[in-house]
Amino acid sequence: MNPPPLDRFLRLLREALAEGTLLKLTLGAPTGSDPSLRKVLVRPVTLKSGPCLAFVFRHTTQDITKNLLPDEALGRIEALLGTELKTGHLFTPAADAMLDLRDALRPRLCLRQPSQATSTPADHDRARARLIEPDTGWLHTLGVTTTEGRVCGGMEAKFRQLNKFVELLSHLLADTKLAAVQPLRLVDMGCGKGYLTFAAWDWLRRHGWPAAEVLGIEARAELVAACRRAAAEHAPAGLSFESGTIASQALAGAEVLVALHACDTATDDALAKGVEAGAALIVVSPCCHQELRPQLVPPRVLAGALRHGILRERQAEFVTDALRAALLEWAGYETRVFEFISTEHTAKNLMLAALKRDPPGEREPLAQAARELAAFYGIRTQRLAGQLGFSLSGTEGA
C-alpha cells in the first residue's frame, strides 16, 4: 500500500534537500486559521552560518521573512501542511510535485514535468538568480512586477539593477569588518522611489542581518509618502523613510552609506557624510560631473584632443572620480571603482566603493598623490576636499 500523499510529498522534499536539488517550494490554500495568511514561499539560501531555508510568510498586508536551518524548516513545513495550508508545490530540476489536501477524503499528489529547470544549476548561478525573487510583494507595490510575480514590461533593466546592487552589496559587506550578528544601520541617501532601499532591506534581513535597520532619505515629500506606505505594507520593522537632503542629514551611527546617482557635488556631500560618520562601507554611483569641468587645464599633449566637448566631459568625469578615490584613500579608506550595471540601463554606470581601513595607514604619500593629480589638471578647489579639510595646494586643514 502506498504511503499517504503528504508523507510522499515530504519524502520528496527531504530528498531534494539532501541532494541539493530544491529550487523552491510554495505552500498555499490557507484554511483560515490565520485570517491574514495567503501563502508561504520557501527557497534554499546559503548564509555565513551554512545552508538554510528562507521562508516568506505572505500576509494580506505584509511579508514576514525567516531563515531556518534545514531540520527546523522541515518541522515547520510539516506543521503548516494540512493545518494552516492545504496545498504544496515542490519544484526540482527532475519534476514538479503538487500536493492537494483540500479534500480530506481524497488527498492527491501529482508529479509533472519540471517547469523551472532541466538540470541543477551551478551554485554560483543559482545564488545569483535568487538574490531577489520576482514574486516579492514590495516589488509589485513599487511597480516592478505584476500580481503574478512577473517583471513588468519596461522594468526588466530595473529588476536586473536591483539584483546587481544586492550582489555587489553582499560582496562588499563580506570584505568589511562588520559582523553579521551585530545590528547594522544602512542609510540610502537620495533614495528616490525606494527601489534600492527596499532591496537592501530585503537582502540584509534574509542573509544574516535580521536586526538590520535601513533608512531612506529623500527630498521630495511625495516620494517619501509613497515609500512609507509601501514600507507599512511590506516591512513591519527595520525600514523607514525620512524627508531631507544629503547635505542636511545627520548620520551618526551609520555603518553603511549608499548614494546612487546623486547629482554633481551631492555625491561629494554623501562621501563626506560617510567619512564623518566613520562608516565601514560607503557606496556611491556618481552622476553629472559639473564642478571640475570649468577648472580643467589640459596638459599640452591633451589640449588638441580635449577641444572636443564630449571628450572634455569624459575627462572631467575621470578626473572627478579619480580625485574622489584619492581623497578617500587619504581619509583612511580602501577604494574600488568599477562598472555597476550595463550601459544599456544608464550611461552613469560607475560605482565607487570605500571600505574603512584599520589601521588607516600612512597619510602623507596619499596626500601627495591627491595633490599631484589635482595639479596635473589645474584643479584648485573641489567640494569633497573642502569638506574633508584637505588643501589641494599643500596645506592640510584640521
Give the contacts of 295 (CB within 8 A, at least 6 positions apart).
377, 378, 379, 380, 381
Angle between helices 195-206 and 156-174 (to 10 degrees): 50
Average pLDDT (288-306) is 85
Query: Which is more confidently placed, 287 or 320?
Result: 320
192 and 84 inside one domain: no
Give the per-residue pLDDT at 120.
39
Residue 122 has pLDDT above 60, yes or no: no
- Beta-bridged to residue 56, according to DSSP, are 41, 65
Percent of the chain with pLDDT over 70: 91
Residue 46 has pLDDT above 90, yes or no: no
Coil vs helix vs strand at 148: coil
Whether 169 maps to a domain, the answer reads: yes
- Report the C-alpha gap between 181 and 362 in whole angstroms: 31
Whether 205 maps to a domain, the answer reads: yes
How does residue 42 score in pLDDT terms, banded at 50, 70 and 90?
very high
52 and 183 inside one domain: no
User: What pLDDT digit, counting tens, does each position of 185-213 carry?
Assistant: 999 999 999 999 999 999 988 887 888 89
How does residue 123 score in pLDDT terms, banded at 50, 70 and 90?
very low
User: What pLDDT digit, counting tens, does each position of 144-184 carry?
Assistant: 998 878 888 888 888 888 988 998 898 898 888 887 657 89
Whether 151 maps to a domain, the answer reads: yes
Give the per-residue pLDDT at 343.
40
Residue 124 has pLDDT above 60, yes or no: no
207 and 349 inside one domain: yes
Residue 224 has pLDDT above 90, yes or no: yes
pTM of the predicted protein model? 0.67
- Report the C-alpha gap between 56 and 124 in whole angstroms: 22
CATH for 162: 3.40.50.150
Give the per-residue pLDDT at 130.
53
- Beta-bridged to residue 87, according to DSSP, are 28, 100
Whether 133 maps to a domain, the answer reads: no
Instruction: Print burial letters for 271-309: b (CB count within 10 Å at least 16), e (below 16).
Output: bbbbbbbebbbbbbbbbebebbeeebebeeeeeeebeee
233 and 362 inside one domain: yes
- Report the C-alpha gap between 106 and 5 in whole angstroms: 10
117 and 143 inside one domain: no
Residue 275 has pLDDT above 90, yes or no: yes
Number of Cβ within a 10 Å radius of residue 372: 10
Whether 254 maps to a domain, the answer reads: yes
Whether 350 maps to a domain, the answer reads: yes
- Looking at 62, 86, 121, the residue that finishes a domain is 121
Residue 117 has pLDDT above 60, yes or no: no
- Looking at 61, 87, 121, the residue that finishes a domain is 121
74 and 186 inside one domain: no
Give the per-residue pLDDT at 221.
94
First to last CA, the chain: 83
Query: Which is more confidently placed, 35 or 115?
Result: 35
230 and 350 inside one domain: yes
145 and 97 inside one domain: no
113 and 185 inside one domain: no
pLDDT, the chain, mean: 85
Query: Which is more confidently placed, 19 or 255?
Result: 255
89 and 153 inside one domain: no
Q: Biggest alpha carbon distance in the chain?
A: 89
Cα within 13 Å of Cα(266), Cβ side: 22
How many structural domains does the chain have? 2
Coil vs helix vs strand at 140: helix
Whether 127 maps to a domain, the answer reads: no
240 and 334 inside one domain: yes
Lowest mean pLDDT across 32-46, 316-330, 339-353? 339-353
For 145, the domain range is 139-387
124-128's contacts with Cβ under 8 Å and 24+ in sequence apart are 127/46, 128/163, 128/167
Average pLDDT (337-365) is 74
Residue 348 has pLDDT above 80, yes or no: no
Number of Cβ within a 10 Å radius of residue 396: 13
Give the per-residue pLDDT at 4.
87
Average pLDDT (128-134) is 67
Whether 130 maps to a domain, the answer reads: no
255 and 374 inside one domain: yes
Give the contacts of 195 (CB within 8 A, at least 6 positions apart).
142, 144, 158, 161, 162
